Amino acid sequence: METASARISTRCHWWSHTKTVTLIWFISFVLFYSFFHMALQNSSQNYPSSGGITSHSHIPNGERRARLYDKMARDLDDHGAAFLKQGETSQSLLLSDIFTLKDGSVTPVHKAANPPVRANVLYLSPKYSVPISDAVKRIFSPHFDKVIWFQNSSLYHFSMFHASHHISPVPATEDEIEAEATAVRAVAEDLCPLKIVLDRVILTSTGVLLGCWQVISGTDPMTIRAKLRTALPNAPEKQLYDPAILHTSFARLLGHPRASPTVELL
């Protein structure tokens, strides 16, 4: 009996020790997993996705664009018509710095960009830009005669990515610029053509008439910009536009609309 009791006591002691060790390992594992998970969350918050913009992977790109356009459409109501007061443009210039009234029409003031800007843009085919331009002129000319500038339809474009811009200039030699162009061509060759639809036209507080587009098929603008970010590692971290946006400038208003004719009641 003494031998049996000793064996039982030894087994109980071994089992108790094993449970203690197992419990310690389990608690250690839980604590390690918790701290590791917290570290991953902090890392994703401190180091956002490329372009300096937090990832919105849970939101479909089309929905993100729609929300962005909704916000842009509220800009005029939220900030008022700054263009009527000769306010600043998106390039931090006064309207009088870039436009002048000459011979009864609005004329752009051509100036060399200083510092130089290196922008990657997608041009809209004249097949589509010319009819849009004609419609814009037909609708707005009767109301904004001599206080509106219409973008040249041959220059309708979508700004995609800047290798250098006025806020964060990135100097480059001719060889470096040629290397950038080669990298951009390689990206372009890997893209699928975009099929897009004009979602809405909005007027901003700075007087810009914008066409906002949605993507039906092809390589999404967010993907294009991500590829350009990789191809141009020296580009400014902060870009000028949200990576989801796809917009075109149609015209710019510089003053009040023409007064509507009044009708006297007899």
pLDDT tens, residue by residue, 113-145:
777 899 999 999 999 999 999 999 999 999 998
When computed from its CA atoms, the radius of gyration of the chain, rounded to whole angstroms, is: 30
| CA angle centred on 195, ends 193 and 197, rounded to 5° | 150
Q: Residue range 198-215: average pLDDT?
A: 97
CA dist., res. 61 & res. 243, Å (int)? 10
Single pTM value for the model: 0.71
CA dist., res. 182 & res. 176, Å (int)? 10
At 61 the pLDDT is 96
At 3 the pLDDT is 43
CA dist., res. 171 & res. 166, Å (int)? 11
Is the pLDDT at 30 greater than 80? The verdict is no
**pLDDT digits 0-9 by tens, 42-88:** 333 332 333 334 445 689 999 999 999 999 999 999 999 988 886 55
For residue 194, what are the contacts with CB-CB under 8 A and spacing of at least 6? 122, 215, 217, 218, 219, 221
Distance of CA 239 to the CA centre of its chain: 7
Name the one residue in this structure whose structure tokens are 């700004």: 159
Backbone region of residue 257 per phi and psi (left: phi > 0; alpha: psi in -120 to 50; beta: other values): beta
Six-digit token string for 117: 């800007």
> Parallel, antiparallel, or unpaired for β 99-102 and 118-123?
unpaired
At 110 the pLDDT is 72
